[in-house]
Amino acid sequence: MGQTLTEKILDDHLVEGELETGEEIGIEIDQVLTQDTTGTMVWLQFEALDMDEVQTELAAQYCDHQTYQFDFKNTDDHRFLRSAAGTYGAYFSRPGNGICHQVHKENFAAPGKTLLGSDSHTPTPGGLGELAIGAGGLDIAVAMGGGEYYVEVPEIVNVRLEGELPEWATAKDVALEMLRRLSVKGGVGKIFEYTGPGAESLTIPERTTITNLGTELGATSSIFPTDEKTKDWLSRIGREDEYVELQPDEDAEYDDEIVLDLSDLEPLIAKPSMPDNVVPVSEAEGEEVEQVILGSCTNGAYEDILPGAKMLEGREIAKHTEMIVAPGSKQASEMLAREGWTAEMMAAGVNFSEATCGACIGIGHVPASDSVSLRTFNRNFEGRSGIEDDSVYLCSPEVATAAAIKGEIVDPRDLADELGDLEAPGLEMGDSYSPGMGQNDSDIISPDEAIDDELIKGPNIGDVPLKDPLGSEIEGEALLKMEDNITTDHIIPATSDILKFRSNVPKLSEFTLSRVDDTFAERAKQADGGVLVAGENYGQGSSREHAALCPMYLGIEAVLAQSFARIHKANLFNFGLVPLTIDEDTYAKIEQGDDVEIVDDVAEGIKSGKEEFTIRVNDEWEATAQLDASERERDILSSGGKLTWTKQRAEGG
Ligand code: F3S
């Protein structure tokens, strides 16, 4: 039987296990990336593992989430990251050089390689045929030390793209259509492999927009085959020798197939406050817009900003609307400046931000209260923009720019009719690539150019807390009962006043779940143990391992949820918290404040492979909770977390 593209790459990197859907396998990792909010903990864990040097082909440390150096804590973190990259042999991308996914794509992503990154949008270079997976920081630290990465073989879904995009429909609309059809849970446990003539018609930046947004489906990854367009893109950035032809076999068998005809697409928009709340733009028309932001890791490439620039040529944005361009990389900014597009956009009324995540996580450009903000980003979770009950819409650069011109949400086709002289800015091959991009990136310090050979820690950089090995009893109060789709932003918000404590777990943990209940951290500390209860898809969103680490620090021992997001579940194992699945009735019956006891001997049950545990609530009623865990994950739980487990294995314990 033939193989899918994903199977070919997995097979090439297989270290342990069988390539069968649902089976846990260990794979070799070629490249790792980490960013500044997750990176400090990655390197502290790498140090705690007594590692001397990066063992993967390549490791890259980016500084993108928290680049504004409001106080010494961020600056200290950046210096620590530079010192860690230098000490251990990783590339270091300086603050302001751009967002990890864009800069990695430009400089390092390569077809056929495996990439593990401590950021949930790591799958972005799947558009170049790299198998890229997001994971928790501890998984990155272990992979960097030469350890394999364990993952359940996902279902592999063929997304067959037919036809070609019509005018004004874009790659963003392909991704939004996938979200409209499948929802934010529709990709859990899956890898989407895009094939067909429609896939061939898309440029590399268009493909990477789609693979970036695959994360919002909950997918493990998304990937495109490579072809002449991949080769051409790599050669234009001076990396043609990294091209490898990769195609699924003709008789490859997929677990499922989705057919999407690109020619049926129209401009779409995700309404507040979930990326899958997608409607045609025409249905949201007329809504007044106060802010438009074009950029981020989703649509921050030079080729994403150029359409906006072309639409604005010789025009002005509406007086009551502000438009900000947040490029994905400094090289994209540089290209736009060299070609005169920056001046063109500025003349239209646009402001430029440095190449940073910034506004995507509420750091800068927070919308005004009771106002609409249109963004070309990938997430519009409530409050993520930095203001509670915000009203953030997600759309393509074309729709965002049309709104900036009109001052309200408008289908760009209608705006084109109204203005008479607005043309769809579709890019020709010739101008959609950037010769020179990715070369001579002076803001990247290679391991050979390292300026530090020891770690430099400021006063806000603490140690990695460890958990005791699992005991036989888990009993405590249900300290918080939460609804469906609780995101890692709810658990540990990523705003600047909180993120600056990312290297200081005792302080950071004071903010745990504060967006759900601001008394939680205090109550958890006083209770000295307890459990969390949640609905479906608990831990959706980012790879932020602090969302498991901080509850662990506060003494939480188990999370009872109807279902878990993939990366967060792995993070719970990594920090020794037991993720138990409960059914809808149990979820409905259990109340915050109830006393929850796991009746069975937990340590023994976990060791012996027990899958069903009995929980007793208030000594009044009982229910069943499931533990879906591999043997390795059970060992990790027993040891009190992956750090201790990895050290024990290294010591032969
Ligand atoms: Fe950064 Fe937002 Fe992407 S935080 S990595 S721009 S999803």
Beta strand segments in 166-321, E: 190-195, 221-223, 256-261, 268-270, 278-280, 291-295
Tell whether 147 is covered by a domain.
Answer: yes
Please list the residues that pair with 99 across neighbouring strands.
none
Query: Are residues 288 and 247 part of one domain?
Result: no
Please list the residues that pair with 476 across neighbouring strands.
596
Provide the b/e sequence for 106-128 (b: ≥16 CB within 10 Å). Answer: bbbbbbbbbbbbbbbbbbbbbbb
Ligand 1 site-directed mutation target among 62, 99, 353, most atoms within 8 Å of CB: 99
Tokens of 233: 């893109």
Q: Is the CB of 99 under 6 A from ligand 1?
A: yes
Tell whether 442 is covered by a domain.
Answer: no
Q: How many whole angstroms separate alpha carbon 356 and alpha carbon 95?
A: 8
Check residue 500 and give its pLDDT.
87
Check residue 493 and give its pLDDT.
86
Cβ atoms within 10 Å, residue 260: 19
Domain of residue 507 covers 475-650
- Those residues whose C-beta lies under 8 Å from the C-beta of residue 365, and which sit 6 or more positions away, are 291, 293, 324, 326, 353, 358, 359
Query: Are residues 143 and 20 part of one domain?
Result: yes
- Helix %, strand %, coil % of the chain (to 5): 35, 20, 40
Q: Is the CB of 360 under 6 A from ligand 1?
A: yes
Q: How many whole angstroms separate alpha carbon 43 and alpha carbon 455?
A: 9
Compute the distance from residue 424 Cα to the ligand 1 centre, in Å: 27
Tell whether 465 is covered by a domain.
Answer: no
Q: How many whole angstroms separate alpha carbon 617 and alpha carbon 596?
A: 5
Compute the distance from residue 245 Cα to the ligand 1 centre, in Å: 29
Compute the distance from residue 541 Cα to the ligand 1 centre, in Å: 11
Please list the residues that pair with 270 across neighbouring strands.
278, 394
Query: Are residues 300 and 386 part of one domain?
Result: yes
CB contact at 8 A, 445 and 533: no
Q: How many whole angstroms separate alpha carbon 640 and alpha carbon 650?
A: 16
Q: Is the CB of 376 under 6 A from ligand 1?
A: no
Of 629, 640, 600, 639, the residue nearest 472 (C-alpha): 600
Query: Are residues 286 and 247 part of one domain?
Result: no
Residue type, 424: A
Q: Is the CB of 544 under 6 A from ligand 1?
A: no
Query: Are residues 336 and 223 part of one domain?
Result: no
Query: Are residues 182 and 62 part of one domain?
Result: yes
Check residue 430 and give its pLDDT.
43
Q: Is the CB of 63 under 6 A from ligand 1?
A: no
Tell whether 586 is covered by a domain.
Answer: yes
Q: Is the CB of 142 under 6 A from ligand 1?
A: no
Tell whether 504 is covered by a domain.
Answer: yes
Q: How many whole angstroms separate alpha carbon 351 and alpha carbon 295?
A: 12
Compute the distance from residue 378 Cα to the ligand 1 centre, in Å: 8
Query: Are residues 538 and 398 part of one domain?
Result: no
Compute the distance from residue 298 Cα to the ligand 1 centre, in Å: 8
Query: Are residues 298 and 248 part of one domain?
Result: no
Domain boundary among 426, 460, 490: 426
Q: How many whole angstroms separate alpha carbon 136 and alpha carbon 544?
A: 7
Query: Are residues 518 and 493 part of one domain?
Result: yes
Compute the distance from residue 114 Cα to the ligand 1 centre, in Å: 21
Query: Are residues 277 and 256 part of one domain?
Result: no
- Those residues whose C-beta lies under 8 Å from the C-beta of residue 400, and which sit 6 or more positions away, are 292, 293, 294, 308, 323, 374, 375, 376
Ligand 1 site-directed mutation target among 63, 104, 119, most atoms within 8 Å of CB: 119
Compute the distance from residue 296 Cα to the ligand 1 centre, in Å: 6
Residue nearest to atom 3 of ligand 1 (CA): 297
Residues of the chain with pLDDT under 70: 427-440, 653
Rg (CA), the chain: 24
Residue 340 burial (10 A CB sphere; 0-12, 13-18, 19+): exposed
The SS3 call for residue 599 is: coil
CATH number at residue 592: 3.20.19.10
- Those residues whose C-beta lies under 8 Å from the C-beta of residue 299, and which sit 6 or more positions away, are 172, 209, 305, 328, 376, 377, 396, 397
Q: Which H helix or E strand runs over 392?
A: strand 391-394
Residue nearest to atom 5 of ligand 1 (CA): 297
Cβ atoms within 10 Å, residue 428: 6
Counted domains in the chain: 3
pLDDT digits (tens, 9 = 90+) for 506-541: 999 999 999 999 999 999 999 988 999 999 999 998
Beta strand segments in 121-234, E: 131-134, 149-152, 155-162, 190-195, 221-223
Tell whether 451 is covered by a domain.
Answer: no
Query: Are residues 276 and 408 part of one domain?
Result: yes
Domain boundary among 369, 392, 426: 426
Query: Are residues 333 and 212 part of one domain?
Result: no
Tell whether 561 is covered by a domain.
Answer: yes
Compute the distance from residue 649 Cα to the ligand 1 centre, in Å: 35
How many residues comprise the chain?
Answer: 653
Tell whether 246 is covered by a domain.
Answer: yes
Domain boundary among 426, 459, 489: 426
CB contact at 8 A, 324 and 365: yes
Phi/psi-derived region of residue 384, left when phi > 0, alpha when psi is between -120 and 50, beta in every other case: alpha
The SS3 call for residue 174 is: helix
Check residue 2 and give its pLDDT.
96
CATH number at residue 368: 3.30.499.10
Q: Is the CB of 494 under 6 A from ligand 1?
A: no
